[in-house]
Every structure is written in C-alpha cells, then in structure tokens.
Amino acid sequence: MQIPGRTRCLVDSGLGHIRKLFRRSDVDALSHLVDVVQKSASSNVAFPYQQDCTKTWEWRDWKQFLSSNFKSVRNIRKYHYFRFSCEDPGYVFLKESVDSVETQVSILKNAITDPQTRPMATCIRLA
C-alpha cells in the first residue's frame, strides 16, 4: 500500500495513456485492444493471453472466494505495513508506521484445510 498523497506511479501513467486512446478507438476484438495498448505509449507492451491452442480464458471468482473465507481488516487504510507468516497462518500483522507497535489480526472466517484451495474455474471462449 502506498502512503496517502503519494499514489501516482508509472503504472497509473501507462494505464492513463491506454484509457485515453481506448476512448477514441473502436475496439471490437482482442486484436483491436492489443493494437490500442501497443499504440498508447512506447513503454506499453501488450501480452495477449492464450492458453495452449484452445483460445480460452480461465476465469476464477476470487472476490466471492475470498469474502466467504476471510474477514476484512477494519480501518485498513490507516495501516502501511503488512506482514504474513507461515508460522501463523490466518493472521496478518499490521503496523501504522515503521516505529509503531505491530498488531496481530485474525483474518480467517473458515478453516481452510488445503492451502492450495482455489475457486472453481470457468472457461470463457475467446472469439
């Protein structure tokens, strides 16, 4: 997380160039979007995703998965330092500043038996 007031970065700038050109372009296919990204700025490079030769996109609903298994952290915007540890799974350690005291917060709603658990995949066919 970035410090409030210091939220401008090069990634935001690159996305801004893409957004400006996208608004002035007709984008009807993935190839058109690739062209927009390539033409938006010299630093922007498009890497279209294709899984093997099947041309499908694997979509997972992470928002639903995370909200059903994890709690949200209250007042998260006031914290600037986050630490996770394999010795304490299901907890996040928070600090407001470098010199402040670290707070341990439980973020697990349900016990996850397999750490490799992911939401079910939905395959979307690309045109």
In the chain, where the domains are located: 1-48, 51-108+122-127
Q: Which residues of 63-75 are buried (b: 16+ CB within 10 A; e: fewer)?
A: eeeeeebbeeeee
- Opening angle at CA 29, ends 25 and 33, nearest 5: 50
Specify the 3-state DSSP secondary structure of 37.
helix
**Number of residues in the chain:** 127
The predicted pLDDT at position 110 comes to: 77
The predicted pLDDT at position 80 comes to: 94
Spell out the per-residue pLDDT of the chain, length 127, in tens.
556 666 667 777 888 888 999 999 888 777 888 899 999 988 888 877 655 555 566 777 888 888 888 899 999 999 999 999 989 888 999 999 999 999 999 998 877 767 677 777 776 665 5
Report the amino acid identity of residue 83.
Answer: R
The predicted pLDDT at position 113 comes to: 66
